[in-house]
Amino acid sequence: MSLSVLGDLNWFAVIVATIAYFALGALWYAEFAFGRAWQRSVGWDLNPPENAGPGIYVVPLATCFLATLATAMIGAASGTDNIMEGILLGLVVGIGVALPVMFVTGMFDMTKPAPTTFMAIGAGYHVVGLVLAGAILGLWR
């Protein structure tokens, strides 16, 4: 694979998949879903830090874009060209990369009150988000 694959990507699909992945986070971390448990796991006592600026949204959006772009590049290189192959691609990237990274990070971050909860919620979000992104990318290849 070379960077020339960037020219072969459906950039509209990459942007839509990025937005879908990012928007999933709004639902995933909402209080009615995993938000309360996640906040407790990081020690926020159900109140986010008062000095949270735009970075609280910009950084996750940027990381969703990078993960989606990498998934799109792998999809283009592997010939992923339908929704089922996209879902499988998302599962492979999510379970093969995102889940282990979250678990290693959580395993050694003893500053959190509940590191296992933190890593399970985070890993689950990224696996489901990458499956969603993969499905969109595969559908619009």
Q: In which band, very low, low, confident or very high, does the pLDDT at 118 lie, cut at 50, 70 and 90?
A: very high
* CA–CA gap between residue 79 and residue 48 (Å, rounded): 42
Dump pLDDT digits (tens) for 85-94: 999 999 999 9
Label residues 73-94 b or e (16+ Cβ within 10 Å = b).
Answer: bbbbeeebeebebbbbbbebbb
What average pLDDT does this structure show over 35-41?
92
DSSP structural state of residue 96: I
pLDDT of residue 71: 97
* CA–CA gap between residue 1 and residue 80 (Å, rounded): 14
